[in-house]
Structure 1
Amino acid sequence: MSIAETRSAAGGGLNSEFRRGVASCAPVLFGTIPYALVLGAQATQRGLSTAELSLLTGLNFAGGSEFAAIQLWTSPPHVLLIVAVTFLVNSRHLLMGAALAPFLRDLPRRKVFSALFFMCDESWALGLSDAKRRAADGGAPAFSPRYYMGAALAMYLTWVAFTTIGALLGPVLGDAETYGFDMAFAAVFLVLLRGMWKGVAAARPWLVSLIIAALTYLFVPGAWYVAAGALAGLVSAWLLWRDEA
């Protein structure tokens, strides 16, 4: 095989990995679209402009904290409260990044930073599952950057595009939750949870987070249940890890 043919075959392999990432993410994307529209509609109803929402979703790219921020949004906004809640909700990314770290250590920093910026719950779950599967099958390297970026970029572009569309359609949609779109948010995470299920013992931090979030939702006004659930899950995971270490 000539050098040109070798390069062409390598390029085709890289492109096929990217396409594989997009294809594996496609079912999740259809679940993402409804609650992206809900977020966009809710943001305009809270007084954000379309440009402001696009900037929020493009730079933050973390749906849970964006929903929390929108729920807490007032005029003028309570900036410190929103920042604190956003940090707590997004703090799960510390654990997600740590889980990916063994697969990223051999990549150049520019690729690592790109992978972490575009990391969301869905792309993280798909990338980690694929890396573990490839490692079990003896694939080297286990982590496929092209596959991961195919899934991550598909999620990013879909999220930013449809939250923007939701903002534009907000006045027409009215209360988007009346259509049941908000249930798609929970449905997507239940699917991801099913794919990562490793038994009851490993799910204990999730259960603690669920109980604390539910109790806070029932007895504390506002969106504090999001922060309470996230913090409870992190503390629970740390305490259980210490007991098992």
Structure 2
Amino acid sequence: MTAPFSAAGFRRGARVGLALSAAIFIYGLAFGLVAAQAGLSWAWALAMSVTVFSGSAQLAALSLIQAGEATLMTLAATVLVMNARYLLFGAAIQPWLSQAGPLRAFSSLLLIGDANWIATMRAAEKGEADRAFLIGTGVPLVGAWLGGTLVGVIFGAVLPDPRAFGADLALPAFAAAMMAAMVRSRAALVPVAVGAAAALAVGPFAGPGWGIVAAGLAGGAVAALTARPGVIR
């Protein structure tokens, strides 16, 4: 039996997405400012935000560009590693979303991000049955991300130093907010501690970028091994 996928569910999701869009706009603005500093035009920055749609991966790719180490292979590898967490996101939401049918499920996954994945998982746990909820949350977030990127890169020349406005803290602040939202027990702190230890061990020798990658891989692996599967109907 196919789960509901209706305009009403889309609207419920869109209201949640709109509530999250201000933070995503600011995050996109920070990326746009950094992209301008790396020498990207507004068209290239916007194209990156459309095709990658991941702040952490895009900022990591920009660090390679600024360091003069960017090749097609290194950029592709960086994006894949930084977005590896979406494998876990997809696995977690699959029992709920797959009941919408393959076409609707895969279309919805194109708009999944950290914020609306958390929001949708919480809604599903509370009984949300309409699978259009996920794509509804995603549409406002995509608009906010692209809008923030465009504004940031256009005004990057006017505001030449993003660090003066704290834009360089956007990624760690967003990651900390995600962690606070997802940690619900002491056991959930174990992957956080493992990830932090991995970052501290790798960062001083390989650089902060690889420290982030190590934290994500180590913390994600521990979370996958220790998670207790829940029931989402």
* Residue 49 of structure 2 is aligned to residue 57 of structure 1: yes
Shift of 1:163: 0.7
Among 63, 69, 76, the residue aligned to 1:71? 63
* Residue 199 of structure 2 is aligned to residue 207 of structure 1: no
- Alignment partner, residue 98 of structure 2: 105
Paired letter, 1:40: G
Could you list the runs of 5+ residues in structure 1 that have no partner in the other structure? 1-12, 135-141
Relative to structure 1, the CA distance from residue 241 to residue 133 in structure 2 (aligned partners, 3 Å threshold; closer, same or farther) is closer
Q: Identity rate of aligned residues, in percent?
A: 27
1:33/1:158 contact within 8 Å kept: yes
* Residue 139 of structure 2 is aligned to residue 125 of structure 1: no
Deviates more, 1:199-208 or 1:57-66: 199-208
Whole-angstrom CA distance in 1 between matches of 2:81 and 2:223: 15
Relative to structure 1, the CA distance from residue 227 to residue 194 in structure 2 (aligned partners, 3 Å threshold; closer, same or farther) is closer
Relative to structure 1, the CA distance from residue 198 to residue 37 in structure 2 (aligned partners, 3 Å threshold; closer, same or farther) is same
- Alignment partner, residue 231 of structure 2: none
Please give the TM-score of this superposition, normalised by the length of structure 2. 0.85
- Alignment partner, residue 139 of structure 1: none
2:30/2:167 contact within 8 Å kept: yes
- Alignment partner, residue 84 of structure 2: 91
Shift of 1:127: 0.8
Paired letter, 1:71: S
Could you list the runs of 5+ residues in structure 2 that have no partner in the other structure? 229-233
- Alignment partner, residue 8 of structure 1: none
* Residue 108 of structure 2 is aligned to residue 115 of structure 1: yes
Shift of 1:234: 2.8
**Deviation per residue, 1:68-109 (Å, 9 max, x gap):** 111111457233222222111101000000000100222121
Whole-angstrom CA distance in 1 between matches of 2:129 and 2:117: 12
Q: Which structure is larger by alpha-carbon Rg, 1 or 2?
A: 1
Whole-angstrom CA distance in 1 between matches of 2:9 and 2:168: 32
Paired letter, 1:89: M
Shift of 1:65: 0.7
Whole-angstrom CA distance in 2 between matches of 1:132 and 1:239: 21
**Deviation per residue, 1:178-236 (Å, 9 max, x gap):** 11234344444434333332312123122211221233333323521222112212332
Whole-angstrom CA distance in 1 between matches of 2:132 and 2:227: 32
- Alignment partner, residue 158 of structure 2: 172
Shift of 1:145: 2.4
The two structures, once aligned, show a CA RMSD in angstroms of: 2.3
Whole-angstrom CA distance in 2 between matches of 1:189 and 1:224: 16
- Alignment partner, residue 135 of structure 2: 149
Shift of 1:161: 1.6
Whole-angstrom CA distance in 1 between matches of 2:83 and 2:180: 21
1:69/1:86 contact within 8 Å kept: yes
Q: Deviating runs (4+, > 6 A) in structure 1?
A: none
Shift of 1:59: 1.0
Q: Counting helix residues as a fraction of each chain, which structure ranks higher?
A: 1
- Alignment partner, residue 227 of structure 1: 213
Secondary structure of the residue aligned to 2:184 is: coil
**Deviation per residue, 1:25-82 (Å, 9 max, x gap):** 3342222222211111111221222111111110111111111111111457233222
Relative to structure 1, the CA distance from residue 231 to residue 76 in structure 2 (aligned partners, 3 Å threshold; closer, same or farther) is closer
Whole-angstrom CA distance in 2 between matches of 1:36 and 1:206: 25
